[in-house]
Every structure is written in C-alpha cells, then in structure tokens.
Amino acid sequence: MGFLTGGIDYDLIGRVGNHVGRRVRGKNVLAMRPARGNRTPTEAQLATQLKLTLMTGWLKRMGPFIRFGFEDYDAKMSAWNAAVKYNLNNAVTGVAPLFTIDYAKVLFSRGNLAEAASPVLATTVDAQLDFSWSAAIPATFKGEPTDQLVLIVYNPAKQGWAVSVGDAVRSDLSYDLAVPAMWSGDTVYPYLSFLSADQKDVSTSQFQLATVVQ
C-alpha cells in the first residue's frame, strides 16, 4: 500500500498498483515495480550449477585446510572461493549431467614453498601408508626443515578422509600414516604438502595413488 505524505500533490511512499514511490536523497522517485524473474536457466548455466554443487560438496570437509592452502592464491577472493574456482576449472570432467571429479588434478593448496622432493609412497603394512621424501630444496623455492607435513587422504569407496597436519616435519624425511582398518583393499588418493611453521606459506599439494594393504 502506498501513502501520499501530504495530499494529492505531495510525495507517494510505497506501492500503488504497478508503481513504487520512495525518497532518494530528499527527492520523491516514482518507478515501475520490477518484474519477477521468470527466465529459464540455459543449459550452460545448469551445467555450471551442477559442477559447482559437485565440487563444493566434496571440498567442504576440508575447508579448514583450504583456508591456508589457498590463502594467497587470489587477493580478490577468499581462500575458499579461490580453491573452488581453481578446482572447477581444472578438476571437473565429463558431460552434463554426468560430471565427475578428476582427483589427480585436484589441489588442496597452491603456494611457493618447495614441494616434497622425490616423494615415495609404500603400502607394505596393513592399514598404513608409508610416505618418504628427500631433503632437497630447489634454489628457486623457499623451504625450512621445520615445515610441517600435511597429508590429506580420500577414500572414494568409503567416502572417508584421513588427515594429518604437523605430525611430521620436512627434516623427518618420512612419516607412516595409519588409516582405518576398514579401508583395507581400497584404492585411496593421498595429497601431500608442506606448511611453514608460522602457517604463512604452503607448498602446492602433490597427488599420489595407493591401494591399502589388507
């Protein structure tokens, strides 16, 4: 309902029919009511929505790690939005509506710390992943012996995660990660990276592939 604030010759405030009156910087402005949106989304828009739902639904469990993993990736957006944008553009495959995640192309972090040099993943012990790497740090990258090891392991068969942050450092050169016994025989996707001791720098995550021994 609209109101004339001082009679027929004064301001109209509110809605009358298809017209809306309001005060803007001391002036009365009369405009048509905006039409309700009734556009049908295009196929491209629906496809983008499907991909977004797929990726955000999968990444959300690792939100706390993405916070520092993509903190410096794009100054114009949050770490979460930057991670979603990167992985949407690089790690979603397939044709609508059957999109899937290309796990080998996923990144949980992207930074300027040195990656793990010559990483090796062994599976010789039941329900355990044995990681090792060398001490080499390329001259063009930053890196300290105190950099914390970050391991994120995803099990697609069980839709489960195993995570370790700071249980080992770069100078240890190895770390054995225990995973749930129910994962025995499953193929898993580990992602390895390093985080500086002050949590200000991170290395780009490295994908590996393994089958848990049963």
Q: What percent of the chain has pLDDT over 70?
A: 82
Q: Domains in the chain, ordered, with CATH?
A: 3-32 (no CATH), 40-110 (no CATH), 111-214 (2.60.40.10)
Residue that the structure tokens 């391991």 belong to: 151
Is a pLDDT exceeding 70 seen at residue 67? Answer: yes
What pLDDT sits at residue 3?
A: 46
* Beta strands in the chain, from DSSP E residues, in sequence order: 3-4, 12-16, 19-24, 27-32, 92-95, 98-101, 117-122, 128-134, 148-155, 160-169, 174-178, 187-195, 206-207, 210-211
What pLDDT sits at residue 72?
A: 83
**Residue 111 CB partners (closer than 8 Å, separation 6+):** 69, 72, 73, 201, 202, 203, 204
Name which of 82, 61, 59, 65 is nearest 149 in CA terms.
65
Is a pLDDT exceeding 50 seen at residue 156? Answer: yes
What pLDDT sits at residue 43?
A: 83
- What's the whole-number mean pLDDT along residues 101-130? 96
- What's the whole-number mean pLDDT along residues 121-138? 94
What pLDDT sits at residue 214?
A: 79
- What's the whole-number mean pLDDT along residues 83-91? 95
Amino acid at site 118: S
Gyration radius of the chain's alpha carbons: 26
What pLDDT sits at residue 8?
A: 46
For 199-212, the pLDDT digits (tens) are: 999 999 999 999 99
* Predicted confidence band of residue 21 (pLDDT cuts 50, 70, 90): low
What pLDDT sits at residue 18?
A: 62
Residue 133 is encoded by which pair of tokens?
A: 């790497």
Name which of 24, 71, 15, 41 is nearest 198 in CA terms.
71
Name which of 140, 151, 196 is nearest 178 in CA terms.
151
- What's the whole-number mean pLDDT along residues 37-50? 82
Residue 43 CA to its chain's centroid (Å): 24
- What's the whole-number mean pLDDT along residues 96-114? 95
pTM value is 0.79
What pLDDT sits at residue 125?
A: 94
- What's the whole-number mean pLDDT along residues 20-40? 62
Q: How far apart are CA 145 and CA 133, in angstroms?
A: 12
Q: What percent of the chain has pLDDT over 90?
A: 66
- What's the whole-number mean pLDDT along residues 114-134? 96
Is a pLDDT exceeding 90 seen at residue 192? Answer: yes
Mean model confidence pLDDT for the chain: 87
